[in-house]
Every structure is written in structure tokens, then in C-alpha cells.
């Protein structure tokens, strides 16, 4: 069981909720194997539970993190994952993860989580 984060990404301003725009345009996701682990990790980062992102049926709940909170999560033991590995771990059913097609690049067919 583990807490994990993906890489920071830049998001266009219009893709960021207006109240969160003051924190910048770089964000990542923090997920966990269980919701209890996720909530404990969020509490250690002092993230209010109301900020949990649980709006996509295929993905486990997650929190969006700023660069400083991501760094603290990693310091607290969060596992750093690449995009494909994060998505696979974040799926409710890993069997939903598409197998790469022959000759496809690293991002071909890669589902994108909601920020």
C-alpha cells in the first residue's frame, strides 16, 4: 500500500478552478492505494478534505498538489510515478488500462486523468 504522485504539469488558466488560480499553473495529482492512506497523506499536508477530487468513476479519488506540496508529499514518502504508471495505479480497475498498441509512442492511447 502506498501514496503516489505524478509529475508536475502546466495547465492553461481556464482549466484551473478560479479560486485555485492564485496558486499558479503547475499541478500534479496525489493518489493512494486506499482512500484511508490518501486522507492521512492529505492531513499531513494540511489539505482540507473538501479539496478531494472524486469526480471520475474510472479513477480513485485524488488531490491536486502545488509544487511545494508535491515536494512535501515526496519528503513524507510518496512514490514518484511517471504518467503511465500513475494512471494505471489510479484506475479503480487496473484491467481498464489499455495495452500499448504495437509501434505506438509512449503517449499513444494514454488516458488523461482530470486535474
Return the domain boundaries, the chain: 3-11+25-96
**So what's the pLDDT on residue 15?**
93
**C-beta of residue 61 within 8 angstroms of C-beta of residue 32:** no
Distance between CA 9 and CA 1 in Å, rounded? 25
What pLDDT is recorded for position 92? 85
For residue 58, the model assigns a pLDDT of 86
Integer Cα distance of 30 and 88 in angstroms: 13
- For the chain, what is the radius of gyration of the CA atoms? 14
State the pLDDT at residue 61: 95
Q: What is the pLDDT of residue 95?
A: 65
Determine contact, residues 33/6, Cβ cutoff 8 Å.
no
- pLDDT given at position 97: 62
The whole-number pLDDT of residue 102 equals 52
Contact between residue 6 and residue 84 where contact means Cβ atoms under 8 Å apart: no
Q: For the chain (length 115 residues), average pLDDT per consecutive 10?
A: 94 94 96 96 97 88 97 98 93 68 45 47
- Say what the pLDDT of residue 70 is: 98
Amino acid at each position: 500500500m502506498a501514496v503516489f504522485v505524478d509529475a508536475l504539469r502546466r495547465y492553461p488558466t481556464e482549466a484551473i478552478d478560479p479560486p485555485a488560480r492564485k496558486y499558479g499553473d503547475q499541478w500534479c495529482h496525489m493518489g493512494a492505494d486506499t482512500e484511508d492512506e490518501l486522507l492521512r497523506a492529505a492531513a499531513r499536508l494540511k489539505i482540507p478534505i473538501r479539496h478531494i477530487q472524486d469526480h471520475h468513476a474510472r479513477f480513485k479519488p485524488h488531490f491536486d498538489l502545488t509544487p511545494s506540496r508535491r515536494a512535501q508529499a515526496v519528503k513524507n514518502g510518496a512514490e514518484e510515478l511517471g504518467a503511465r504508471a500513475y494512471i494505471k495505479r489510479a484506475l479503480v480497475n487496473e484491467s481498464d488500462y489499455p495495452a500499448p498498441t504495437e509501434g505506438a509512442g509512449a503517449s499513444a492511447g494514454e488516458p488523461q486523468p482530470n486535474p
